[in-house]
Amino acid sequence: MEVYDAMRHEQLTYLGHSAFLITTLAGDILIDPFLSGNPSASIGPDNVHPNYILMTHGHSDHLGDTIGITRRTGATVIGPAELVTYLAGKGVSNVHPMHIGGNHVFPFGELFLTQALHGSSVTENGHFIYTGNPCGFVVKTGERTIYHAGDTGVFLNTELIGRLHPLDIALLPIGGNFTMGIDDALEAVKMLAPHAAIPMHYGTFPVIAVDPQLFRKKVESSTSARCPVLEPGQTF
């Protein structure tokens, strides 16, 4: 087991929609695990074994299977304080509330919560429960710095995120309607200046069906970033 761990490399795997799995030397990080009921999900909620779950906001296509997965695995749930407190009220025992602008050093590395222009709520019996501000994450592991934008429109402070955190990888929504679309996501890439920009939050539903290859062409022709389009289940 020790040999295996020593040989282990960090990996980023796309699970569909906005869900990603980051494997690190100090535990696996699952972001926005919308797997059950997600037509684009590459695996089911019983096939992930995270140590940490990062949640950008409370919408069902991001909260997803968080409660079931943490009950089964004991994974620590990290996210905006109101959302995490809501989950604690649902019996989730391992929680770590944070907030935008805050940072904390975990065993896997340092985590920063960033601004996102969006909403955040959970619907129960037809009633909205407000779950604070939505966020994005910058994850600095031993090997890589990765930005997951969450659901957001484009905003000029994106430039500050890129300046504070030189990025290897930026995960950006491109599907429009609920978030920025292709052209606004291209502006975000220009401000972030990552080595690689990976599109997410498109194609899962008809209303966010866009062509990721168009995003790739625009990014690779007007910035120095690579733009790999990952299929659900594919590792970068």
* Binding stretches for Mn ion (CB under 5 A): 61, 151
In this complex, which beta carbon is closest to Ni ion, that of residue 201 or of residue 216? 201
Instruction: Kindly write out the interface string for residues 147-166 of this chain, putting x where it contacts Ni ion by CB under 5 A and - elsewhere.
Output: ----x---------------
Single out the segment in contact with Ni ion by CB under 5 A; choices: 43-51, 56-64, 169-177, 193-201: 56-64
Taking CB under 5 A as the criterion, which residues in 5-44 touch Ni ion? none
Closest CA to 58 of 82, 94, 93, 88: 82
> Quick one: 222 exposed, middle or buried, by C-beta within 10 A (0-12, 13-18, 19+)?
exposed
**Which phi and psi (to 5°) does residue 179 adopt?**
-140, -175
Sorted by sequence, the CB contacts under 8 Å of residue 199 that are 6+ apart come out as 172, 173, 174, 185, 212, 215, 216, 227, 229
Single out the segment in contact with Ni ion by CB under 5 A; choices: 24-32, 144-152, 158-166, 192-200: 144-152
Tell me, by CB under 5 A, how many residues bind Ni ion: 2
Closest CA to 141 of 113, 111, 115: 111
Work out how close the CB of 66 gets to Ni ion at its nearest, in angstroms, rounded to a whole number: 14
Single out the segment in contact with Ni ion by CB under 5 A; choices: 53-61, 91-99, 122-130, 212-220: 53-61
Q: What is the DSSP letter of 22?
A: E
Cβ 20 vs Cβ 12: under 8 Å: yes
In this complex, which beta carbon is closest to Ni ion, that of residue 108 or of residue 147? 147
What distance in Å separates the CA atoms of residue 117 and residue 137, rounded to the nearest whole number? 13
In this complex, which beta carbon is closest to Mn ion, that of residue 56 or of residue 158? 56
In this complex, which beta carbon is closest to Ni ion, that of residue 196 or of residue 210? 210
In this complex, which beta carbon is closest to Mn ion, that of residue 145 or of residue 204? 204
Work out how close the CB of 220 gets to Ni ion at its nearest, in angstroms, rounded to a whole number: 28
- Which residue type, as a one-letter code, is found at position 79? G
59 binds Ni ion (CB under 5 A): yes
Contact positions toward Ni ion, by CB under 5 A?
A: 59, 151
